DNA sequence: GGTTAATCGAGACGGTACGTCACGTCTTAGT
DNA sequence: ACTAAGACGTGACGTACCGTCTCGATTAACC
């Protein structure tokens, strides 16, 4: 869809602050009304665009051990977060979620919840094997907490962090 | 200062989206020019207001063990985050930091870095005692990552989370 | 025709400013395309509706004297202009004629010219009898001028005006 | 004022239908808000502009006879109506007055009533001399009725009409 | 103690984007 | 084949705030 493409491009070029409905309409060759007919706000357009891109990368590895599975999940997630345009969009969406409570719910169910579900497949599997030191819920928050905190403070998600997270959560060094 | 008070009140009443420079000026009985003379944006006004409130609560406990120190730090932080008006302001500031790169730097040094420094006093002490499973940097990100992630997704910071964090990071259950 | 009826009703209810093609289509249960197929603009719909109503009342009296004929013509015209919905429509049409030159021509030939022709039958008859103080053209403009001016300034067309017009144009008091 | 100038120019260039607040703002180098701060609608801007131009030409001659006075008044008015840009503006204002009842009142008091007052000075003087065949009110409506009717039907105000009006209203040929 | 200069509140200004309305065209089912 | 229904690109609307700017009125400092 031309509208989603325009939204991503404009965010990349001028930042989320420079993203406007007028701009999306002009760039995509549509009318503003058409955008408002399908999305309640510019953030929702961006959410749609980002969700489409990000969904392709939700892996649910099964490599025998929790440490290996977690390592795989982190690797895929870090690759995703390293894509500048996508990372910029995600940071903007999390920002908008703080400002607009309606959007926060949509962002939660359409994006955050899906990724939590993916991770929790691994975690529940590990829990059943007795490999988890603490609850699934807390571990989910720890993993996504670190990722988002690094993202939001504009600092890279590097291999060292992945290694140390695996060590911390699985009780052993990553393979 | 009447301006900081007005900014906090308006954020509490109408949300950050409803906070405007015009509104702050009207509520505080000042002219807009006066606000611009002292702060570069409405987010900076709020940052000033929030930093003043939050600084009072940065504790650096020293209770003998890393587990106990961490427990104390988390307890104080969770109490802070449970104050609705302050939490709303912090979420708004983190949001603004995503949208405005200039502000991100000011927010980092004026708020985030201070709290990281406080936590790192504990962590370095523990590290020197050989109590840390992974690097200080990663642990800092894990702790603040979880806190911010819960805050930004509008979910409470409860005792269970504190307990499990202590278990996870110190290798033993909290005292 | 349901479309003409809807146009008149909507003008009466919300004024000409509140008359829209969308509204006519919705009220009359037709598609917009159907309206555009038959009329070039909403003003033309209203013109059709008004012309149908007004044409019924164009009388061409012949009562022996110019004064009596004129009195009859004025009485019929004043009755017509006293009908609120019709008067509102006519005022709107004259307004639209000022804004849209194409429509002005259609309004002239489809409405104004017809009523001038009716009056000029009386005037030419009187002229041939030598009863007219000035030209037919000027008298036509005087009669319709007063009527329209009162209509457009939202002031009533009363008996006193009719009497004085007859006095003025026929050189004697009305019968 | 640049805004009034821009409004008149745009009306002359693109017609009243092509006159927009956006256009006036762009041409005059102001913001839209400034226009809305001082005038309630684009018609009021045009009214201000036209009233300023037209007020200069309200003559109240006193040449001894009603016929001569009326002749003078008509001559001045016809000259005014012959100015294309002004005539276009006046026709647009009368049109808008039909569509917007609030504006009708402002147009009446700010323009129409003033010109009626000017004419009525002559008429009252004549009435006191016993020169009037009918009431001042009706004669006022006849004079302005003819002028506006010709204007609104886009037909010229020529000398013949002036002569015949004088003949009709004063009972004698013009000097 | 009276005058001058700085500071303040108030708010008008040129802008940009908003979200809405209606336009006139077009596409799509359904009869 | 024609219709109602309504999505579409377009463009103007009137509003909200932005950040800058000019005003008097009020203080404060200095003569």
Q: Is the CB of D138 under 7 A from strand F?
A: no
pLDDT at B56: 63
Q: How confident is the model at residue B45 (pLDDT cuts 50, 70, 90)?
A: very high
**Residues A112-125 pLDDT 10s:** 999 999 999 999 99
Tokens for D80, please give them: 């005014």
What is the DSSP secondary structure assignment for residue C112, as one 8-state letter? I
Cα–Cα distance for residue pair D79/B6, rounded to 1 Å = 62
Three-state secondary structure readout of B15-65: CHHHCCHHHHHHHHCCCHHHHHHHCCCHHHHHHHHHHHHHHCCCCCCCCCC
A81: nearest Cα among A70, A72, A90 = A90
**Residues D112-161 pLDDT 10s:** 999 999 999 999 999 998 889 899 999 999 999 999 999 999 999 999 99
pLDDT tops 60 at residue A175: no
pLDDT tops 80 at residue C56: no
Cα–Cα distance for residue pair B98/B27, rounded to 1 Å = 27
Q: At what angle do helices C66-82 and C113-128 cross, to 10 degrees?
A: 160
What is the DSSP secondary structure assignment for residue C129, as one 8-state letter? T
pLDDT at D174: 39
CB distance B111 to B50 below 8 Å: yes
Opening angle at CA D95, ends D92 and D99, nearest 5: 130
Alpha carbons within 13 A on the beta-carbon side of D45: 28
Q: How confident is the model at residue D171 (pLDDT cuts 50, 70, 90)?
A: low
- Chain F positions with any atom < 7 A from a protein CB: 3-22
Tokens for D95, please give them: 């049109």
From residue A157, alpha-carbon distances to A57, A144, A145, B111 in Å are 16, 12, 12, 22
**Residues A18-67 pLDDT 10s:** 999 999 999 999 999 999 999 999 999 999 999 888 776 677 878 788 99
Alpha carbons within 13 A on the beta-carbon side of D49: 28
How many beta-carbon pairs below 8 A join chains A and B?
110
The residues of A between 24 and 83 with beta carbon within 7 Å of nucleic strand E are 31-33, 36, 41-42
CA D67, distance to chain mean position in Å, is: 21
pLDDT at A174: 40
Tokens for D167, please give them: 């003949």
Tokens for B129, please give them: 């005692």
List CB contacts (< 8 A) between C145 and chain D: 142, 145-150
Burial of B90 (0-12, 13-18, 19+ CB in 10 A): buried
Opening angle at CA C117, ends C64 and C168, nearest 5: 55
φ, ψ for residue C61 (rounded to 5)?
-70, 155
From residue A29, alpha-carbon distances to A16, A89, A119 in Å are 20, 22, 39
pTM, to two decimals: 0.87
pLDDT at C174: 39
Give residues with Cβ within 8 angstroms of A72, minimum separation 6. A59, A61, A63
Tell me the average pLDDT of chain B: 92
- Nucleotide F7: closest residue by CA–C1': A34
Q: Averaged over C25-33, what is the pLDDT?
A: 94
Distance (Å) from the alpha carbon of D26 to chain C's nearest alpha carbon: 22
pLDDT at C44: 96
In the structure, how far is the CA atom of residue C38 from the C1' atom of nucleotide E26, in angstroms? Answer: 18
What is the DSSP secondary structure assignment for residue D111, as one 8-state letter? I
Give residues with Cβ within 8 angstroms of D88, minimum separation 6. D11, D12, D15, D16
Question: What residue has token string 């013109």?
Answer: C47
Q: Averaged over B44-54, what is the pLDDT?
A: 88
**Residues D33-85 pLDDT 10s:** 999 999 999 999 999 999 888 776 677 777 788 999 999 999 999 999 999 99
B147: nearest Cα among B167, B161, B166 = B161
- Chain E positions with any atom < 7 A from a protein CB: 8-27
């Amino acid at each position: 869809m031309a509208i989603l493409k325009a939204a991503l491009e404009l965010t990349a070029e001028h930042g989320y602050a420079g993203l406007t409905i007028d701009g999306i309409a002009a760039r995509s060759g549509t009318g503003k009304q058409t955008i408002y007919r399908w999305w309640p706000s510019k953030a929702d357009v961006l959410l749609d665009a980002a969700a489409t891109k990000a969904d392709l990368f939700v892996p649910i590895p099964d490599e025998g051990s929790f440490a290996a599975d977690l390592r795989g999940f982190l690797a895929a997630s870090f690759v995703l977060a390293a894509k500048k345009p996508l990372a910029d969009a995600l940071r903007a969406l999390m920002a908008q979620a703080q400002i607009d409570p309606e959007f926060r719910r949509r962002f939660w169910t359409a994006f955050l919840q899906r990724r939590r579900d993916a991770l929790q497949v691994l975690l529940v599997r590990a829990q059943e094997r007795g490999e988890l030191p603490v609850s699934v819920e807390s571990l989910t928050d720890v993993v996504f907490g670190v990722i988002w905190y690094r993202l939001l403070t504009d600092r890279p998600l590097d291999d060292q962090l992945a290694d140390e997270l695996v060590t911390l959560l699985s009780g052993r060094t990553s393979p």
